[in-house]
Amino acid sequence: MRHRLLFLLTAALLSPLPAVAQEVPGQSSEQSSEQSSEASEMQATDDPDAVALDAAKVPLEEIRRYVTIYNAVKQAYVDPVDDHKLMQSAVRGLLLDLDPHSAYLKKADAEKFDEQTRGTYDGVGIELQQLGDGSLRVVAPVDDGPAARAGVRSGDRIVAIDGKPLVTGAADGSMPLRGKAGTTVVLKIVRAAQREPFDVSLVRETIQSSSVKSRLLEPGYGYVRIASFQAATATDFIKQLDALQKSAPLRGLVLDLRSNPGGLLIGAVQVADELLEKGGIVSTRGREALGNSRFDATPGDRLSGAPVVVLVDAGSASAAEVLAGALRDNKRARVVGSRTFGKGSVQTLLPLENGDSVKLTTARYYTPSGHSIQALGIQPDVVLHPEQGQPRRPVVSEADLAGHLAAEAGAMEGDNAGDVLPGPAPIAAALRELKRSVSAQ
């Protein structure tokens, strides 16, 4: 009976799950019906072991080996092991050696992952830095958020939340600031200009964090920074671009994607579409038909053909690489900086009935020219090096991660400029390249 129960548990964990629309759409109703039909046929089988084995499609000898190890741990490990904890460890192990981006997410981690892609959360609107003594330093309050309206300032130190002191060694102290919109939280704040700490009472709200910032570098030359790709990134990009062109059309644009880790693929596709009149943007290919897709530009270039320079570094990954590749392959932009990270894979989020999720790699990205980004990245048209006297700083790329998906045919080409390029110097270099492109028109 124990063997049969474990067979069924394994089958349940390995059965197909509906995918949420993170980067690949979920299964169709027709496919769901087919799977339901298959499940009914399996339930009609006399032997429950055969049902589980058919569902999981795992060789019998592998199942026996798993049960043997499971029983050995349960019976002989130095301390008692909880069944639930052991099964969760088994599931995590199932995903561990696939690739660096497939993972089992507990409910809290899955909610945080979803929050990052949505760009919204319920809280008081403060960007924080945790200090060694457990207290929190305010880096910046979110514009027009509860904290900003209450007068919380950059540099303020939060030493207690709802009367509970923040101490050394505590877990992430910012978590108590999150909570249901409409609820109240009281912060005890230490401010350098005031001798005594004081309390600030804040009512939590739904905070929309913007991933897009912009400014004019010079008259006629715009700068847009995209920190990540969230649900509202394309909308924010359009607003920022229109604001830059309110008085006059831009002559050129620097699009800064440095240290952009990616995010929602659709955000990068929509931004590319705003800058392209026609042409492909990206395609994805996987083993299943659901992993295959193609995105093309629709007519309408918001810059009317004005030159674009895309600034990248070794931290530009995934959707950021998709955007850079789409603009470069369509000869719409010059790419400046250092070789990008090389994360050319698509992850699909598979929700489980207990609120946990499985993040599973299901496809690869391809630029319009058919170039696979995976473990190769994008080589800039113009490579930037550290300034004279500055040492080269090694960084980790996708190709350095243990168990990464292999690159497809083709070797690394060009200068492996593995330097993170912070600060204003690369922006100045990108502006010079942009002006050369304007002069060449």
Catalytic (active-site) positions: 318, 329, 343
423 contact partners, CB below 8 Å, separation of at least 6: none
Amino acid identity for residue 33 in this structure: S
Cβ–Cβ under 8 Å, residues 248 and 220: yes
- d(Cα 306, Cα 277) in Å, to the nearest integer? 12
- d(Cα 127, Cα 124) in Å, to the nearest integer? 10
Furthest C-alpha separation in the chain:
78
- d(Cα 280, Cα 269) in Å, to the nearest integer? 10
